[in-house]
Structure 1
C-alpha cells in the first residue's frame, strides 16, 4: 500500500466514523476509530521497514575476511562484549557463557578462556579505569539492564543518552536572538551576538554491589545472569533516576558529596528567582497551578513534553484535579503508553521524584546524559561467610541543556522552615 492509497482509506474511514457519531451511534464510531488507529500503525511499520530495506540495498554485501580467526577469538574485540564486524552469534554466546562461568567461579574451557581474555584485555586498554578484576558485561546482558532500568524509570527512557568514551562537551545556546526586522535599502541591518555556554560531561562513578551466596551460584547460567541483571538494573536505575532529578553535580572545595550528574530540579532551584518553579500549599494543588506551570515551557519544547510524578501523587492528587465546572482533567490512557494525560500531555509514574513534587518537561531535548564507560562487573569472594559480592560499575554524567524545557511544581516551604 502506497501513501496515496493509505490517505484515501484513512479519509474514507474518518467520514464513516463521523457519520456514525453524528447519528449518535457511539459504538460504531469507536470501532471505526480503532480501525483508523490500526491502519496508521500498520502503515507506519510498513514505511519503516521499507526505509530499512532501502538502506540495506545501498550498503551492499559484507566482504569476506581475508583469513579466518582462530576458534574462540573475537575479530576484533571491542567494548561491546561481542565481536565487532562479525555476525557470528556463536562467538557472542561463547563470551556470555565465559562471563557467567567466571562470575560463578566455574572452570572455563580453552576456547572460553581465549574468548574471555580477548575481549577484556582490549577493553581494559581502552577504558579510564582499567582494573585487573573488572570484566566487561556481555552486550546482551547490558541491553537487558538498560531495558529494565527504562521500564522502572520512564525518565531514563526519555533522556538523551550518548556513549562517548571520555569527557564530552555539548554547546548550549544561552542568548535568545531577536526576530528579523523589515527594513529598506538605506537602513543598515543590526546583528546580534550569539552566546554559547558549554555543558561539560566528565566522569561520575556509579556502583552497586549484590551479594550472592555460594549455594545460589549452583543455579543455571541463565538463571544466574537473570538474577544479577535484575538486581543491578533495579539499584543502579534508582540511583540514575534520582541523579537526573536531584543530582548535586560536581562538588566544590567545601563540599563533601561525591561527583554526580546535575539534576533537573537542582538546576531549576539554582536559578535566580526560580522562574521555572511554581509552588502550592499542601492539599491545594489545583487547575490553575497546573496551567501556570505548563505556561512556563517554551513552545519549542512542547512537543515531547511529559508530566512526571510519584505513583501515589498521580492517583491521589493529579487524578482528582477538576476544572471550573468540576470535570476531572486527568484522562486515563487505556493504551498503556502512559498512565494518563493532562491537557493531552502524557503522565508518567516516576518514583525518583520526591513526594509532592511534579515535573513537566521535554527531557529528551532539555537534558543530556553521557555514558563514558559502560557497565563492568567486579567480583570479591568472602570465604568465611561463603558469599561473593558482584559489583556493577559505570562512569556516567549528565546535565541540563536548557531550563526552558522544564517546569517544576513543588510544595511551598512551611513558615519558618
Structure 2
C-alpha cells in the first residue's frame, strides 16, 4: 500500500483516475479499517479525504466542506448510501474516529457536526458542549446486549419518548360477552394509564489505553458497546429494581405501596418460604395480568428458597429448563433471574407494565488530558433516562421479614 503524507500528495496520485476506480479504492479503505485491527487509520484518513475531493472534482461538484457537505458526496466517498443523522454509516465512522483521535474526512466532519449540533440544542445541552451522540447502530447493539443480560430490563417495556411527556398505556380490558340477536350492546370506555418519565442523568467515566487509536472501528465499537452495557445500562437495570425516584429512576420494590394480603406476602423472619406463600402470591395478582406473568428473583433466592419446595403431592414446584442454565418455571410461570434483587425477595407479575425510557441515547465526551501521565484516554458516558412501574396492580411482592 502506498503511504501518503499529505492530502495533496494523495490527491495528485488519484486525480487522473476514473470515478469507478476511486470509488473501488474508497470501499477497500473502509473495509480494511473495519476489519483489520492493525490498519493504518491515520494514513487511510488522508487518502480517503483526497479520494473524496478527486471524485467531487470529476463529477463537477465542489469538494464537501464541514459547513455543508452534500449527502451524495459524503456517501460517494464511502462508496455507499445509507441512513440519515446518527443512523448513517458516515456518522458512525466519524464518531469512532473522533473518539480515537484520528482525522476525519470532510464529509465525516460535516456529518459529525450536524448530528451533534442538533443534539446539543436539545437534551444534552446542559450536560456538555462537546458530547457526541452515539450512533444508532451502536445504541441498538447496547440495548440488545442489555436485554440479553436478563433481569427485569429484558422483560420490561422500553420507550424512546421525550422526557416529561405523558404517554398513555392500555391496560387489560373486559372480556367480550355473548350477544343476544337484536339486543343493544353497551359501549365500554377504555381508560389508558398515563405514564410520565422524568429526565435523570447517568454518568460513567471509562479510562482506556491510548492504544485504542490503532484498533479497527469494528473492534472499538464492540469493545465500547460491552463497556457501556456493563455500566450505563447496568445502572438503569439496578434502578428498575429499587431506584428511589429521587434523582434517579423509580424501582418496582420502592415505587409501589405494598400491603400484606393485598399485593404482598411476608414470610416470618424465623420461617422459610413455603409452597403456600407462592400460591398466595399467585392468587393475589389482579385479573388480566396472569397470562404474561413471571417470577423475578436473584440466583441465591432461587436455589436457597425456591429450588427445594414441593407441592402437596411432593412434586417440585420449580422445573428447570433442560437447555438454558438458571431458567425454568414455577408452577408454570417463567422465572427470570435479576442479580439486583435482594436475597429472599421475589416479584411476581406482568412486567410489560414496568417501563424504562432513554429518549436521547448515550453521548460520549473524550479527554486526553486528565490521564496524560498514564497514557490513558478518558471517555465520559452521559445518558438521560428514567424508569418506573406503570400499573401497580400488575405486581405482587414476596419478601421475608427482618425481625
Check the 8 A contact 1:212/1:387 in 2, yes or no. yes
CA distance in 2, matches of 1:363, 1:194: 21
1:51 alignment counterpart? none
Residue among 84, 98, 102 paired with 1:102: 98
Q: What pairs up with 1:248-267 in 2 under 5 angstroms?
A: 248-249=244-245, 251=246, 259-267=247-255
- 1:286-344 CA distance string (max 9 Å, x none): 11010111111112011111111112222232221111232211111235497000111
1:137 aligns with 2:139: no
- Quick one: distance in 1 between partners of 2:216 and 2:169? 49
The separation in 1 between residues aligned to 2:152 and 2:258, in whole angstroms, is 22
Counterpart CA distance in 2 for 1:76 and 1:109 is 18
Alpha-carbon offset, residue 391 of structure 1: 2.0
What's the offset of the Cα at 1:373?
2.1
Q: Tell me if the contact between 1:98 and 1:116 (Cα under 8 Å) persists in the aligned partners.
A: yes
Alignment of 1:226-241 (within 5 A): 226-241=222-237
Residue in structure 1 matching 2:107, options 96, 100, 111:
111
Equivalent residue, structure 2, for 1:394:
383
Q: Give 5+ residue unaligned stretches, structure 1.
A: 1-67, 84-91, 181-191, 252-258
Task: Give me the whole-angstrom Cα distance separating, in 2, the residues matched to 1:301 and 1:337.
Answer: 27
Aligned to 2:295: 307
Deviations 1:363-395 (A, max 9, x none): 11x222222221111222222232222122211
| Cα-to-partner distance string for 1:99-125 (whole Å, 9 max, x where unaligned) | 111111112222222222232222323
TM-score when normalising by structure 1: 0.68
Q: Where do 1:281-360 residues align within 5 Å?
A: 281=268, 284-336=272-324, 339-360=327-348
Which residue does the alignment assign to 2:74? 72
- Secondary structure (helix, strand or coil) at the match of 2:310 reads coil
Q: Which of residues 355, 368, 374 is equivalent to 1:368?
A: 355
Whether the 8 Å CA contact 2:160–2:359 is kept in 1: the answer is yes
Cα pair 1:166 1:373 within 8 Å, conserved: no
Deviation at 1:222?
2.0
1:60 alignment counterpart: none
CA contact (8 A) 1:77 1:119 kept: no
**Aligned-partner Cα distance in 2 for 1:140–1:338:** 30
Distance 1:324 1:272 in 2: 27
| Matched residue SS, 2:92 | helix
**Aligned-partner Cα distance in 2 for 1:273–1:316:** 23
Compared CA separation, residues 279 and 353, structure 1 to 2 (3 A): same
CA shift, 1:216, in A, is 4.1
Provide closer, same or farther for how the CA distance between residues 115 and 274 of structure 1 changes in structure 2, counting only shifts above 3 A: farther
In structure 2, relative to structure 1, the CA distance for the partners of 1:351 and 1:228 (3 Å cut) is same
Instruction: Structure 2 unaligned segments of length 5 or more: list them.
Output: 1-69, 76-80, 178-187
2:365 — aligned with what? 378
Q: 1:123 aligns with which of 97, 119, 122?
A: 119
For the residue of structure 1 that corresponds to 2:207, the secondary structure is strand
Matched, 1:82 2:87: yes
Instruction: Please list the CA deviations of residues 165-202 of structure 1 after superposition, one character each: whole Å capped at 9, or x if unmatched.
Output: 2322135899x99xx9xxxxxxxxxxx99998753312
Q: Structure 1 CA distance, aligned partners of 2:350 and 2:201?
A: 26
- Cα 1:167–1:338 change in 2 (3 A) is farther
C-alpha separation in 2, matches of 1:128 and 1:107: 25
Number of residue-to-residue matches in the alignment: 319
CA contact (8 A) 1:172 1:197 kept: yes
